[in-house]
Amino acid sequence: MLTIDRYLRPETLEEAYEAAQKKNSVILGGMMWLRLGNRRIGTAIDLSALGLDKVEETDDAYRIGAYATLRELETHTGLNELTDFALRGALSPIVGVQFRNLATVGGSVFGRYGFSDIITLFLALNASVELYKGGVMPLSEFCRAGMLKSKERDILTCIHIPKENTVVSYKAQRNQKTDFPVLNVCAALNGGRLSVAVGARPLRASVCLFDIAQDNESETIAERTAGSLIFASNKRASEEYRQHLCRVIVRRAVDEVFAKSADGGIRSGKPNPEVI
C-alpha cells in the first residue's frame, strides 16, 4: 500500500525542486506506476499548478510538457502527422484509454522503464529531455545515466521533439493485447540518416544509427542491429527469441520506412551501426 504523509502542490518549479531534495519526497506523475508500490512517501509533490501539461509547437520542434498525458499525445494531430501516426500506434496498446488519460509523459520518460514504448519512439525521433536544474540533454544520454548528477532529484519539465524526421515506422510485439511488449522497434529516416531504436530487450532502449548512403539493405540493417545489441530473458520471452524477433521486426520497420520515403533509399553497402 502507498502511504502519503504530506501533499504539496507547489506554485513554482523552485519550490517543487527544493521539496524534492528532502528524503522520502516523491514527484507525482499520473501515479499509475507509483500507486502499485508498497512504500511510505514523506511529501508527495503534485506539479499540476505549474502549467506543464501543454504541447507547444515552434518552427523547428514540439515541446511536450511533462504533465501531458499519453492520451493527449496519442490524439495530437500535429505530433501524429510528424510521426506518420507512429505515436498513436505506439501508445494505443498501453492498457486502456482511462489509463492513458492519467499516465503522463514525464512519469513515463523519467521512470526509464526498459519496456517503454514511448522511450523507444522518442529515441528514434532524436528527442531531448529538459530538466529543471540539469537543462536540456539528449534522451539517449538521459537513458544511459544510472543516476542524476550529484544525487539530486531533478524535475523533468518537458520533452523536445525536433521536426526533422520525415518517415517513421513503429512496431511492437506483445504476447497478448495490452500486456507489456516483448520487443519494440522504431525506425526513423531523416534525410540520409536512419535511426533504429530497439527497446523491451528487456533492457532500456538503445538506438543504432545508419548512414543510408552506405547502409541501405533492410535485411543487413536488421542483422547488424540484432548483432550489436544486448538481449536478455524474462518471464515474457527468452534472450534468443528477442534477438530473433529483433531481426524480423527491424527488417519490417526499415522496409516500411524505405517504401514510404520519396527516393526509396535502397542502394548497396555495409551497415555499420553506431549504438548510442
Ligand X SMILES: Cc1cc2nc3c(=O)[nH]c(=O)nc-3n(C[C@H](O)[C@H](O)[C@H](O)COP(=O)(O)OP(=O)(O)OC[C@H]3O[C@@H](n4cnc5c(N)ncnc54)[C@H](O)[C@@H]3O)c2cc1C
CB 155, min distance to ligand X, A = 4
Binding residues for ligand X restricted to 146-165, rule: CB under 6 A: 155-156
44 binding ligand X? (CB under 6 A): no
Segment 71 to 90, residues that bind ligand X, using CB under 6 A: none
3-state secondary structure the chain: CEEEEEEECCCCHHHHHHHHCCCCEEEECCCCCHHHCCEEEEEEEECCCCCCCCEEECCCEEEEECCCEHHHHHCCHHHHHHCCCHHHHHHCCCCCHHHHCCCEHHHHHHCCCCCCHHHHHHHHCCCEEEECCCEEEEHHHHHHCCCCHHHCCCCEEEEEEECCCCEEEEEEEECCCCCCEEEEEEEEEECCEEEEEEECCCCCCEEEEEECCCCCCHHHHHHHHHHHCCCCCECCECHHHHHHHHHHHHHHHHHHHHHHCCCCCCCCCCCCCEEC
Binding piece for ligand X, criterion CB under 6 A, among 33-41, 73-81, 185-193, 208-216:
33-41
27 binds ligand X (CB under 6 A): yes
List the one residue from 84, 117, 130, 217 that touches ligand X (CB under 6 A).
117
Q: Which three cell numbers stand for residue 70?
A: 499519453
Nearest approach, Cβ of residue 13 and ligand X (Å): 10
Comparison of 63 and 260: residue with beta carbon closer to ligand X: 63
When CB distances to ligand X are compared, the closest residue is: 107
Contacts of 3 (CB under 8 A, 6+ apart): 39, 40, 41
Q: Which of 30, 89, 202, 271 binds ligand X (CB under 6 A)?
A: 30
Considering the complex, what minimum distance in angstroms separates the CB of residue 213 from ligand X? 33
Residue 118 within binding range of ligand X, rule CB under 6 A: yes
Give the binding range for ligand X (CB under 6 A) out of 4-12, 28-36, 81-89, 246-254.
28-36
Segment contacting ligand X (CB under 6 A): 20-28, 142-150, 237-245, 256-264?
20-28
- Report, in Å, the least distance between residue 159 CB and ligand X: 10
Binding of ligand X at residue 180 (CB under 6 A)? yes
Closest contact distance (angstroms) between CB of 156 and ligand X is 4
Whether 74 and 92 have beta carbons less than 8 Å apart is answered as yes
By CB under 6 A, name the binding residues for ligand X: 26-34, 36, 47, 66, 70, 94-95, 103-104, 106-108, 110-111, 113, 115-118, 155-156, 180-181
